[in-house]
């Protein structure tokens, strides 16, 4: 399995590699640092401004030393990934449209099985991830795994062997999410969870996939559906949650796009968002 991993040297990015190596053992990973303007950290730019004698010299130095700085960060990520059992290599990309767009572009050209990112990176202009993870989810042509730092011991232990829960609502997007879960997690139990909306309709899933129906503990809407999925994941000791980027529209079913966004903000377990198309 080939993976594209966003890495910026932050604790969140380190956790993403740690989680990823347990969810996808023996994968091949491109550990990617995306450079955006001004292409160097504030500390490095400050030092170069003090030593450069002209604007041209400063520009050349920022380009040269910024690339070296980025390579060191990516190489650190490669070392972490290799220690976790992955076959890994460093990849650098300069992107003018932002880190999320840069990663989505790479996913479009390299066609990995999934992209792996942390939910939050470093602060300020040193950040690579954070809101970037949401932007990536919107534009990536392949599934995106988003991880968080504060996993409990039981949640971390579940990564290696726990079942994978997929939110389903009877839509084509949910069916795509189930198929993606089976492809990404071969040998794992895949459980399709349908959150009842009171209409009496029943969701179905592919052969060999157990379907569980649950009800929200409070109200309706995306937040209530996400909470119900999280509660089901806790009950089953899930390794990860998988949802489609979009579900059914209209009054009868909650739009899974909204549920995906709610899950990214509320659950601490890894979330895989699968593009519907």
What is the domain range of residue 195? 153-274
| DSSP three-state, residue 200 | coil
Say if CB 143 and CB 23 are below 8 A apart: no
- Concatenated DSSP letters of 141-181: SS-EEEE-S---HHHHHHHHH--EEEEE-SSHHHHHHHHHH
| DSSP three-state, residue 9 | coil
Q: 198's torsion region: left (phi>0), alpha (psi -120 to 50) or beta?
A: left
Tokens, residue 3: 């993976």
Q: Report how far apart, in Å, the C-alpha atoms of 248 and of each of 68, 148, 171 are.
A: 47, 28, 5
Based on the fold, state whether residues 76 and 157 are members of the same structural domain.
no
- What pLDDT was estimated at residue 56? 86
Based on the fold, state whether residues 29 and 142 are members of the same structural domain.
yes
- What pLDDT was estimated at residue 205? 61
Based on the fold, state whether residues 79 and 197 are members of the same structural domain.
no
Handedness of CA 173, 175, 181, 186 (dihedral sign): negative
Tokens, residue 136: 């990536």
Report how far apart the first and last C-alpha atoms of the chain are (Å, whole number): 21
| DSSP three-state, residue 112 | coil
Based on the fold, state whether residues 199 and 116 are members of the same structural domain.
no
Q: What is the CATH number of the domain that holds 59?
A: 3.40.50.620
CA–CA separation, 227 vs 90, rounded Å? 37
Q: Report how far apart, in Å, the C-alpha atoms of 161 and of each of 15, 126, 158, 236, 253 are.
A: 18, 35, 6, 12, 31
- What pLDDT was estimated at residue 197? 66
Provide the number of structural domains found in the chain: 2
Based on the fold, state whether residues 143 and 157 are members of the same structural domain.
no
- What pLDDT was estimated at residue 273? 94
Based on the fold, state whether residues 204 and 81 are members of the same structural domain.
no
| Strand-strand pairing, 144-147 and 28-35 | unpaired
Tokens, residue 14: 């380190």
| Strand-strand pairing, 87-94 and 28-35 | parallel
Based on the fold, state whether residues 159 and 121 are members of the same structural domain.
no
Q: Which residues of 78-106 are buried (b: 16+ CB within 10 A; e: fewer)?
A: bebbbebebebebbebebeebbbbbbbbb
Q: 209's torsion region: left (phi>0), alpha (psi -120 to 50) or beta?
A: beta
Based on the fold, state whether residues 7 and 97 are members of the same structural domain.
yes
Task: Give 204-222 pLDDT, tens digit per residue.
Answer: 566 668 888 887 767 677 7
Tokens, residue 202: 């029943």
Each of the 277 residues of the chain gets a pLDDT tens digit; together they read 999 999 999 899 999 999 999 999 989 999 999 987 787 778 888 888 888 888 888 888 777 888 888 899 999 999 999 999 999 999 998 888 788 889 999 999 999 999 999 987 544 334 444 577 888 988 899 999 999 988 999 999 999 999 999 998 888 888 899 999 999 999 999 999 988 765 544 555 666 688 888 877 676 777 788 888 999 999 999 999 999 886 544 333 333 367 888 888 889 999 999 998 6
Task: Give 250-265 pLDDT, tens digit per residue.
Answer: 333 333 367 888 888 8
Based on the fold, state whether residues 161 and 202 are members of the same structural domain.
yes
- What pLDDT was estimated at residue 127? 40
Q: What is the pTM of this model?
A: 0.85
- What pLDDT was estimated at residue 129? 41
Tokens, residue 92: 């650098």
How many separate helices (H) and strands (E) can be counted in the chain?
9, 10
Based on the fold, state whether residues 12 and 132 are members of the same structural domain.
yes
Based on the fold, state whether residues 238 and 266 are members of the same structural domain.
yes
């Amino acid at each position: 399995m080939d993976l594209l991993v966003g890495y910026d040297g932050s604790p969140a990015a380190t956790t993403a590699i740690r989680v990823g190596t347990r969810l996808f053992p023996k994968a091949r990973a491109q550990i990617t640092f995306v450079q955006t303007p001004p292409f160097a950290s504030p500390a490095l730019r400050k030092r170069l401004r003090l030593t450069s004698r002209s604007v041209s010299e400063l520009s050349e130095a920022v380009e040269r030393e910024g690339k070296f700085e980025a390579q060191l960060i990516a190489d650190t990520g490669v070392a972490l990934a290799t220690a976790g059992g992955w076959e890994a290599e460093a990849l650098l990309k300069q992107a003018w449209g932002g880190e999320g767009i840069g990663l989505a572009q790479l996913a479009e050209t390299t066609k990995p099985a999934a992209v792996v990112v942390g939910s939050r990176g470093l602060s300020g202009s040193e950040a690579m991830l954070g809101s970037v993870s949401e932007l990536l989810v919107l534009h990536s042509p392949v599934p995106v795994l988003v991880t968080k730092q504060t996993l409990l011991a039981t949640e971390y232990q579940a990564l290696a062997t726990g079942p994978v829960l997929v939110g389903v609502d009877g839509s084509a997007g949910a069916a795509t999410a189930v198929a993606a879960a089976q492809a990404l997690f071969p040998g794992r139990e895949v459980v399709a969870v349908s959150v009842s909306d009171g209409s009496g309709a029943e969701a179905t899933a592919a052969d060999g996939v157990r379907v569980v129906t649950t009800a929200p503990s409070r109200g309706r809407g995306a937040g209530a559906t996400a909470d119900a999925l999280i509660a089901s994941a806790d009950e089953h000791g899930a390794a990860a949650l998988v949802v489609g980027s979009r579900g059914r529209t209209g009054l009868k079913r909650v739009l899974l796009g909204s549920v995906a966004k709610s899950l990214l903000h509320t659950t601490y377990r890894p979330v895989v968002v699968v593009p519907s198309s």
